[in-house]
Amino acid sequence: MSLETDFVVIGSGVAGLRAAIEIAGSGAHVSVLTKDKTSESNSEYAQGGVAVVLSDDDKAELHEGDTLVAGAGLCDEMAVEVLVAEGTKYIKQLIDWGTEFDRDGGRLVFTQEAAHSRRRILHAHGDSTGREIVRAMIARARQEKTITLTPFANTESLIIEDNRCVGVRFLDPILRSPRSLFARGVVLCTGGAGQLFQHSTNPAVATGDGMAMAYFAGAEMADMEFVQFHPTALNLENSPRFLLSEAMRGEGGILRNKYGERFMGNYDERLELAPRDIVSRSIVAEMRRTGTRSVYLDMTAMSESFLRGRFPKIYETCRFYNLDIAKDLLPVSPASHYCMGGIRTDLHGRSTIPGLYAAGEVTCTGVHGANRLASNSLLEGLVFGARAGSSILEDAAGIAPVEVGREGEPVFPSSEEHLGVTTAVKKRVKRVMWERVGILRDRNSLKRALSEFDQIESAHLSTASRNFVTLAKLIATAALWREESRGGHFRTDFTSPDEKWRVHSIQKLGAEISAAGEISF
């Protein structure tokens, strides 16, 4: 059965909601599809905050400079300028919509995070910033009568006709059968793919389906080798890798080894506030040196009242695991956290396929370069979500509604085994990605990973399993291609950055990997 709407947005994190609100402002009908509940996204789990130039001692040039330094020479400068310049406007808009950022005596409170030269991080309810922003945006979206929020609607593929994206094929959440939804344009805001790795701070929904759908539809992918590993995920046996926010080190947290020694001074003069890739590799080196599987985050120099107020969610979660963050050293180790690469887009959210747009972590806009600056992700979702919503309206102005009454052909036919990644495939891919395509990489480990992925692909796979393996191959292939170390990509056989590799990797279905000077086109 075919359905019709004006526009489809896939994903209900910050980028998806902002795109939907922008489109609905024109009176157009927007269908927002999510594979879980509407509030379940990477955005909702963002603890540390959102970076924005609003404090008296900050300037746009400083925020831009910090972003460029963190990006290790691969940020597209125009994208960074857009992020910082427009970010302030959209944060003020969020406040107008009722987002309750933390204040002291009526004034916004800013905190420090790694690699920022100013205290410019806004947070909400201590360490629940993403949740508060998503709450306010869902409330705002529900005020728009032309936005339809459809949870538990798992999108399977994009519908491409005459090289244009004209809709999506998804599983009806009630009937549990495939349906085609036609539209004048589609915006992918499906987040990242942290669940490709054995240890991740991401929620279970972060399996990269949007990236895979776009790739199979023929869209170009960029910089897939650059994956950010968060240095401090709580490392307890038989428990998920709960994120211990960057802000904990920003507030004075110290990393110690098993002997209780502060060790970051041996690796970087910025100590705990070095960029995430450096802190993560330093922790790995220290764990190997001391023969342990964890280092420790020490917050005991701060009072219990301060820690409970500043990090309430973290405080209660640690308490659940019988840890008192005011008294105990917290066992931590790195975990996959964010994908800098993704669907190649211009600065207005356009992919290389007409009718297909994207925003947020699913994309590669050139904002993050080789390594994302802490707390720029929520800002990116707001700025580029709004831009994608605006450009899809502009581009669709002369496009007639798609004729329905037919099913259309999805890029890949529906599979009866569609409902998820099989447990066996998931376990094997996650293990290989962690061990061979993780924080430290080399030619042999990457080639062995690709060989294993080829073996997995030789079996009959469900749609979701195929997507999962394909994304893993894209990351491993790009990591093997880039013979240098830069940002989140570190090769033990090419340990330094190389100026000739100051290019972006581009991957497309049926084509060899290639290089591009700019992301935007």
Question: What confidence tens digit (pLDDT) does each residue in 226-275 have?
Answer: 999 999 999 998 888 899 988 899 899 999 999 999 999 999 999 999 88
Is 271 contained in some domain? yes
Is 53 contained in some domain? no
Question: What confidence tens digit (pLDDT) does each residue in 353-396 have?
Answer: 999 999 999 999 999 999 999 899 999 999 999 999 999 999 99
* 127/101 Cα distance (integer angstroms): 11
Residues 6+ apart with CB under 8 A from 437: 445, 446, 449, 472, 475, 476, 479
Q: What's the chain's average pLDDT?
A: 92
Structurally, the chain folds into a number of domains equal to 1
Give, as one character, the DSSP assignment of residue 401: P
Q: Residue 10: its pLDDT value, please?
A: 97
Distances (CA, A) of 242 to 32, 81, 194, 253, 462: 28, 33, 13, 17, 29
Active site residues: 276
Is 190 contained in some domain? no
Is 102 contained in some domain? no
Coil, strand or helix at 16: helix
Radius of gyration for the chain, computed over Cα atoms and rounded to the nearest angstrom: 22
- N- to C-terminal Cα distance for the chain? 37
Q: What is the residue range of 291's domain? A: 235-334
Distances (CA, A) of 483 to 70, 363, 480, 491: 20, 23, 7, 7
Is 499 contained in some domain? no
H or E element, residue 507: strand 504-507
Structure tokens at 159: 């519908």
* 243/254 Cα distance (integer angstroms): 16
H or E element, residue 250: helix 246-250
Is 301 contained in some domain? yes
Q: Residue 48: its pLDDT value, please?
A: 67
CATH number where 329 lies: 3.90.700.10
Closest CA to 244 of 291, 206, 276, 198: 276
Average pLDDT over residues 426-444: 97
Strand partners, 364: 344
Is 285 contained in some domain? yes
* Contact (Cβ atoms closer than 8 angstroms) between residue 255 and residue 272: yes
* Contact (Cβ atoms closer than 8 angstroms) between residue 52 and residue 122: yes
Is 420 contained in some domain? no
Helices (H), 372-481: 377-395, 423-436, 443-457, 463-481
- Res 520 pLDDT > 60: yes
- For residues 372, 375, 376, 381, the Cα torsion angle rounded to the nearest 10 degrees is 120
Average pLDDT over residues 41-50: 66
* 356/396 Cα distance (integer angstroms): 11
The pTM for the full model equals 0.93
Question: What confidence tens digit (pLDDT) does each residue in 463-491 have?
Answer: 889 999 999 999 999 999 999 999 999 99
Question: What confidence tens digit (pLDDT) does each residue in 89-125 have?
Answer: 999 999 999 999 999 999 999 988 878 999 999 999 8
Average pLDDT over residues 446-460: 94
Question: What confidence tens digit (pLDDT) does each residue in 63-72 have?
Answer: 999 999 999 9
- Res 25 pLDDT > 80: yes
Please list, residue by residue across 275-305, b when 16 or more beta carbons sit within 10 angstroms of its beta carbon and e when fewer do.
Answer: bbbbbbbbbbebbeeeeeebbbbbbbebeee
Residues 6+ apart with CB under 8 A from 96: none
Question: What confidence tens digit (pLDDT) does each residue in 398-430 have?
Answer: 787 666 555 444 444 444 444 567 889 999 999
Angle between helices 14-24 and 377-395 (to 10 degrees): 30
